[in-house]
Amino acid sequence: MSFVVDPALPARRGIGRALLADPMGLAGLVIVVTFVAMALLAPWIAPYDPIALDVKAKFLTPSAAHWAGTDHLGRDLLSRIIWGARLALGIAITSVGIAGVIGLVLGLVAGYGPRWLDSGLVLVFDSLSSLPMIFFALAVITVLGPGTLTLILVIVLVSFPAYARLIRTQTLTLAGADYILAERAMGARPGRIIFRHLLPNVVGPLVILICMDIPVVIMLEAGLSYLNLGVKPPSPSWGNILAEGYTSLRQAPHVVIVAGVPLVLATLGFTFLGEGLRDVLDPRGAGRRWA
Amino acid sequence: MIPVLELQNLSVDLPLGGFLTRGGLPILQDVTLSVGRGESVALVGESGSGKTTLARAVMGLQAISGGAVRFDGKAVAGRDGFARLRRDAAMMFQDATASLSPRLTVGYLVTEAFRIHRQPLPDPARTARELLATVGLPPAIAHRYPHELSGGQARRVGVARALALRPRLVIADEPTAGLDVSVQAEVLNLMADLRRDMGLAYLIITHNLAVVRHVADRIVVLYLGRVVEEGPTAEVFAAPAHPYTASLIAAEPKPDPRKRRADLAIRGEVPSILRRPKGCEFHTRCPLARDVCRLTAPDLRPTTSGRLARCHFADQHQE
């Protein structure tokens, strides 16, 4: 995957407007903003306590009192979905954010630093990305025990090498640019060149890649939680809700459906937004949406 | 008086081959030249003659394989040496727009030298305005980004950036490249004015002989990475001592096309540096080549008129 962001096109102010003009980007933006708002406002908008049991009211189908119905322990599913958004986005954004920063710094250092450091770092990136993601995740979870922090650690470890490699490639192509030579000729030291002159010019593609990785991470979190290897119950992870709903699929199919819809929507929303951003920031790739 | 810049037998090799095969491709060979205080020296030659490599080698952007660079009489070496050189000498790049960091404003870019060299910068906005005024740009330019500048404006910003710390030497790589003729003249006049006002020395790299006539006191002609002629501009133009120089001058477009000297016109392409001609490296294209030129390489030596030329017959064919 290679993106080159032409700084001349479009101007910074134009990005938002161009994104709004693209129907898919707009849809993605709306969905993402909705989920982010849900996550941020969870304590205020959730009608019930997501872990409060009400055994008498179990397996209720959607109604005026429980818009999305209740699960096998009588917990309000809408509230669990809303709090689940907080968990899913919280984990996804935190882990991808940490991975992004690590990937950015290591990629810049590998791309602009001395040759031996580059070789060493590339070895690390390649080793980490050669591990199959799920097995690596299972191994780490087996050693450290399941939990939110383990989950974040796993996601950071499996995603930062791709970011670092993207940034390294970008940095390598820019390292010979006239303006970098000009800065060196003015006596700028490597730290200044890396952080003030290279970073702003390589970070654009990373933002796109990160945005497109968030749905992957949401799925990974839900998947591991579904397998009881992620967020521990009774925390309302979408994966947990799905796993619990699955056991009662015949009695109450609405539980699985209700938990699946936000997962599908969130995944779709971030993917659309990421692709919309890519098309806006990298006009040469426009039209190859599904390529 | 000690010259600002002295190059002594400067050689640059481009590394070749893998880790078992040593050696390199010589780009510059034994280039010796000096730029005096306040002097303007032009380095001319065709594409591929090593002009830009020389500028980069001086600024430490290109590793040198032999010889020495002396700035203000002191050999430039090590981190401190280059830090000092890069503060007191500035380089203007051929592509003015591409040499400005694209995500930063002009205001930041012109004052960046102060930040790099930790010089006092109490009021960046004011310093930026003053520097822009020096090169004849309005203060509003400070808020623009490089891609919002015209070619001429970008060139002036490049000059302002170069002048920020009041350097003693400016190395200008093709200062008129990509500009239309009226803007070329403005930039050259600006450079001449600044030289007079600030006592700058210039090393101007160009293949545009009109530029050379306009701004240079002395001219150094490079061919395949070697100096083939050196002397005061007026004398070289009046009577070139090396046939290559003569051909360059003859190839220059003239207002009256009938006055072009077809007999001196340069023939063929620059030979590949991978297969340098034996003997005099210019003999393959020289209108005056004789047998001796194909066998023996001439040295760079003084002519009777006191210039330097690398030609067996330098004293004979001066008209």
Higher pLDDT, A44 or B269: A44
Q: Is A86 helix (H, G, I), strand (E, B) or coil?
A: helix
- In this prediction, residues B290-316 reach a mean pLDDT of 83
| Cβ contact B147–A179 (<8 Å) | no
What residues in chain A have per-residue pLDDT under 50?
A: 1-11, 285-291
| Structural tokens at position A101 | 């920063």
Residue A67 belongs to a domain: yes
In chain B, whose CA is at the least distance from the CA of A10? B147
Residue A239: predicted pLDDT: 82
Binding-face residues of A in 156-185 toward B, CB within 8 A: 177-179, 181-185
A178 and B98: CB-CB below 8 Å? yes
- Is the Cβ–Cβ distance between B69 and B76 less than 8 Å? yes
pLDDT at A205: 85
The pLDDT assigned to A283 comes to 52
Residue B187 confidence (pLDDT): 86
Whole-angstrom Cα distance, residue B207 to residue A25? 50
Q: pLDDT tens-digit profile of B35-83? A: 999 899 999 988 878 888 999 999 988 888 888 899 988 888 888 888 8
- The domain that holds A48 is classified in CATH as 1.10.3720.10
Q: Is B308 exposed, middle or buried (0-12, 13-18, 19+ CB in 10 A)?
A: buried
A191 at B interface, C-beta within 8 A: no
The number of distinct structural domains making up chain A is 1
Kindly report the number of other CB atoms within 10 A of residue B210's CB atom.
Answer: 15
Which amino acid is located at A107 in the chain? G
**In-domain check, residue A61:** yes
- Closest Cβ opposite residue A186 in set B56, B116, B147: B116
Residues of B in contact with A179 (CB under 8 A): 98-102
Residue pair A225/A238 in contact (Cβ under 8 Å)? The answer is yes
Residues of B with CB under 8 A from a CB of A: 56, 59-61, 82-83, 86-87, 90-91, 93-95, 98-104, 112-113, 116-117, 145, 147, 161
Q: Quick one: closest CA in A to B83, which residue?
A: A187
Residue A174 lies in a domain: yes
The verdict on a CB contact (< 8 Å) between A185 and B87 is no
For residue A104, being part of any structural domain is answered with: yes
Residues of chain A with C-beta less than 8 angstroms from the C-beta of B82: 187
Inter-chain residue contact A178 with B99, CB threshold 8 Å? yes
Dump pLDDT digits (tens) for A243-288: 887 888 888 788 888 888 888 998 899 888 888 887 777 655 444 4
Return the pLDDT at B22: 60
What pLDDT is stored for residue B137 in this prediction? 92
A1 belongs to a structural domain: no
A26 assigned to some structural domain:
no
- Position A179 scores a pLDDT of 93
**A12, part of any domain:** no
Q: For tokens 């010089």, name the residue.
A: B119
Q: Do A186 and B112 touch (CB under 8 A)?
A: yes
Instruction: Number of A to B CB contacts under 8 A, please give it.
Output: 64
pLDDT value of position B20: 57
Distance of alpha carbon A247 from alpha carbon A249, whole angstroms: 6
Provide the b/e sequence for B109-139 (b: ≥16 CB within 10 Å): bbbbbbebbeeeeeebeebbbebbebbebee
The verdict on residue A75 lying in a domain is yes
Over residues B133-177, the pLDDT tens digits come to 988 899 999 999 998 899 889 999 999 999 888 899 999 998 888
With beta carbons under 8 A apart, name residues in chain B contacting A201.
101-103
- Comparing CA positions, the residue from A107, A157, A102 lying closest to residue A127 is A157
What is the span of the domain harbouring residue A193? 31-285
Lowest-pLDDT range, A9-23, B86-100, B179-193?
A: A9-23
- Partner-chain residue, chosen from B99, B147, B161, that has the shortest CB–CB distance to A8: B147
Of all residues in chain A, the one with the smallest CA distance to B100 is: A179
